[in-house]
Homo-oligomer: A and B are copies of this chain.
Amino acid sequence: MIDSDSLFTSTGGTGVTKDRLLDAAERLFAEHGFQATSLRHITADAGVNLAAVNYHFQSKESLILAVLIRKLEPINRRRLELLDELEARQRDSAPSLEGVLRAFLQPVLEAKAAGMELATFPRLLGRIYTEPGAWIEKLIPKVFGEVMGRFKTAFAAALPGAEPVEVAWGIHFAIGSMAHFLAAGKLLELISQGAADESDSAGTLERLVVFTASGMRAMVLRTKEAAG
């Protein structure tokens, strides 16, 4: 259905039309959502022909993914940077679990604080995960492959003695807490009756790190005790 390769090929030279499309699409998606934004709106806004979408991208869904991947790339690069710094700072010992979590979570919260419409991303991924076709399984490794590999190792090192499968569960739950915060900020407002400030990035990061670090440690400890 979607040629996943085309999503990653650089524009090479000028690539005016393609970039104009991505820019217009990004702006309109953030403002009105995916479904409410028609390809005709996008192409009119970009000043290009409707058919250009099907030339540069194959489908609307592919265009959405291209927009998201373009936004996600710097976040993942920053994650790897922070992990590099963390590992360089403590060459002898293993990095702390809190440090690894901070390297993983901070770039996302920074991007949200910078005004990026990240709420759309978990939504789209969530929709895609369970959609028939399952081409996402080849896409995710390409976008998150390096990040996931590096961080899995780092998490395992920060949780000595943990079974790899339990580390995976922990990462999954941690991503869930983060993704839900990004996607459903309004729910936090409802639960806390307006008392919680979701725009407080530093506070959110701290809470996420404390919550997930403690959760992961407890899960690992549980299985270690059950085994021993």
Pairs of residues from A and B, 8 with the lowest C-beta to C-beta distance, nearest first: A176-B180, A214-B218, A168-B192, A211-B215, A215-B215, A173-B177, A176-B177, A165-B195
Which residue, of A120, A129, A136, A140, has the highest number of chain B Cβ atoms within 10 A? Answer: A129
15 contacts between A and B (CB under 8 A): A123-B126, A129-B185, A129-B186, A168-B195, A169-B192, A170-B211, A172-B181, A172-B188, A172-B191, A172-B192, A172-B196, A173-B181, A177-B215, A179-B184, A213-B218
Q: Is the interface of A mostly helix, strand, loop or mixed?
A: helix
Is A32 positioned at the interface, with any CB of B under 8 Å from its CB?
Answer: yes
Determine the chain B residues whose CB is within 8 A of the CB of A219 once the complex forms.
207, 210-211, 214
Is A56 positioned at the interface, with any CB of B under 8 Å from its CB?
Answer: no
Q: Given A207-B219, A214-B215 in contact, is the A175-B171 Cβ separation under 8 Å?
A: no
Contact B173 A131 (CB under 8 A): no
How many chain A residues touch B (CB < 8 A): the figure is 64
A192 to chain B, nearest CB (A): 3
Q: Name the one of B36, B172, B184 contacting A187, with C-beta atoms under 8 angstroms.
A: B172
Chain B residue at smallest Cβ distance from A168? B192
Which residue, of A137, A169, A176, A208, has the highest number of chain B Cβ atoms within 10 A? Answer: A176
Contact A186 B122 (CB under 8 A): no
Residues on A close to B: CB < 8 A? 32-33, 36, 119-120, 122-123, 125-127, 129-132, 134, 136-137, 140-141, 148, 152, 164-166, 168-181, 183-188, 190-193, 195-196, 206-208, 210-219, 222
Copies in the complex: 2
Q: Kindly state the separation between the CA atoms of A88 and B131 in the bound complex, as whole angstroms.
A: 43
Determine the chain B residues whose CB is within 8 A of the CB of A187 once the complex forms.
129, 140, 172, 175
